[in-house]
Amino acid sequence: MTTTTWYLESTAPSDLVPAREPQAARDVSFVRCGVPSPDFSRFLYESVGRDWQWTDRLAWSRERWRAWVERPGSETWVLYEHGTPAGFAELDAQPEGDVEIAYFGLMPGFLGRGLGGHMLTRTLCRAWDLAERWPDREPTRRVWVHTCTLDGEHALANYRARGLRVYRETAD
């Protein structure tokens, strides 16, 4: 089976087309993990990625997870609904002001409820203001992400709806 991968980018905060607030907005929060936790990050990765064939980090040791989450400019943000983790986004500050949305997704049971667009809106805002939290980093000049045909059926549409543009497409 051929897998198509799309690489998308935003080059200005004004590119963002915010999603509507979810119906349960008063019970939804988007919180940065202020204390890097390799165990929590692995839990999020496994829980969200299980249905989407995320396998590249499954063999990582605890020490490799620790090194990853403790890097300056690396951030994990968690979407909570009524205090329950509903999804997460991982930001990776890169050279020259690039910020990658390295991972993004919702937990099983939270799909199809309008949370993905809201979480992506919040993620993009946090990517654009990342340098405010990491003063040694260059201001964000570009936010990018990739998705593929193995991801959720609405992933590409959500990225595009939030104003990200496809700049490359590959097929394997």
Domains of the chain (ranges plus CATH)?
A: 4-171 (3.40.630.30)
Instruction: Report the pLDDT value the prediction gives residue 24, as an integer from 0 to 100.
Output: 58
Instruction: Report the pLDDT value the prediction gives residue 158, as an integer from 0 to 100.
Output: 96
Instruction: Report the pLDDT value the prediction gives residue 25, as an integer from 0 to 100.
Output: 58
What is the value of pTM for the model shown? Answer: 0.95
Per-residue pLDDT of the chain (172 residues; tens, 9 = 90+): 899 999 999 999 999 999 988 775 568 999 999 999 999 999 999 999 998 888 999 999 999 999 999 999 999 999 999 999 999 999 999 999 999 999 999 999 998 888 999 999 999 999 999 999 998 999 999 999 999 998 888 899 999 999 999 999 999 9
Instruction: Report the pLDDT value the prediction gives residue 168, as an integer from 0 to 100.
Output: 97
> Taking the chain, what is the end-to-end CA distance rounded to the nearest angstrom?
8
Instruction: Report the pLDDT value the prediction gives residue 147, as an integer from 0 to 100.
Output: 95
Instruction: Report the pLDDT value the prediction gives residue 52, as an integer from 0 to 100.
Output: 85
